[in-house]
């Protein structure tokens, strides 16, 4: 990949987005096929029974089972980003307090925002969408990465 010092081309951002998206899908598949899935499902159930989702903290911090599962899924993403010379201001998957959640079809989708840099120069804002369900730890679809170069 080449980088024009004057501006980042849409094609370059698209190439980066494609490679990062592929790594997200790989991380999602790896997690769903791992023994970690059952551990985090059990942990989610424990937190639910302890009342985490009904507590005051639910709006302030992410569900630890989902947060840690997302971090495991994100390992290939972060490895790919590093190889491409991409880094982010935020920790993966993004800041919970600035994320937004919406209903979409059969699940909830939490959107995180990652400011991406290429060799220390701003590249774009990535929106990272995690489809999930609140009644159990379940990721029905792979995370989706959308690039916003308008900012």
| The pLDDT value given to residue 8 | 58
Question: How does residue 4 score in pLDDT terms, banded at 50, 70 and 90?
Answer: very low
> What's the mean pLDDT in 114-128?
95
In-domain check, residue 3: no
> What's the mean pLDDT in 128-133?
95
User: The pTM is what?
Assistant: 0.88
In-domain check, residue 144: yes
In-domain check, residue 127: yes
In-domain check, residue 123: yes
Question: How does residue 58 score in pLDDT terms, banded at 50, 70 and 90?
Answer: confident
In-domain check, residue 54: yes
Residue 34, SS3? Answer: coil
Whole-Å CA distances, 90 to 31, 98, 122: 22, 11, 13
Q: List pLDDT tens digits, range 39-51.
A: 999 999 999 998 8
When divided into structural domains, the chain yields a total of 1
Q: In 3D, which of 112, 129, 123 has the Cα closest to residue 85?
A: 123
């Amino acid at each position: 990949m080449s980088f024009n010092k004057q501006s980042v081309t849409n094609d370059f951002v698209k190439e980066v987005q494609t490679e990062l998206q592929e790594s997200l899908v790989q991380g999602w598949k790896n997690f769903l096929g791992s023994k970690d899935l059952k551990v985090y499902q059990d942990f989610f159930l424990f937190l639910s029974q302890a009342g985490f989702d009904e507590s005051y903290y639910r709006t302030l911090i992410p569900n630890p089972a989902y947060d840690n599962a997302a971090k495991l899924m994100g390992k290939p993403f972060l490895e790919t980003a590093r190889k491409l010379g991409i880094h982010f201001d935020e920790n993966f998957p993004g800041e919970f307090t600035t994320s937004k959640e919406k209903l979409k079809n059969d699940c909830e989708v939490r959107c995180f925002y990652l400011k991406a840099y290429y060799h220390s120069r701003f590249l774009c804002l990535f929106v990272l969408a995690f489809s999930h369900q609140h009644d159990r730890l379940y990721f029905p679809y792979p995370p989706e990465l959308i690039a916003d170069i308008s900012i």
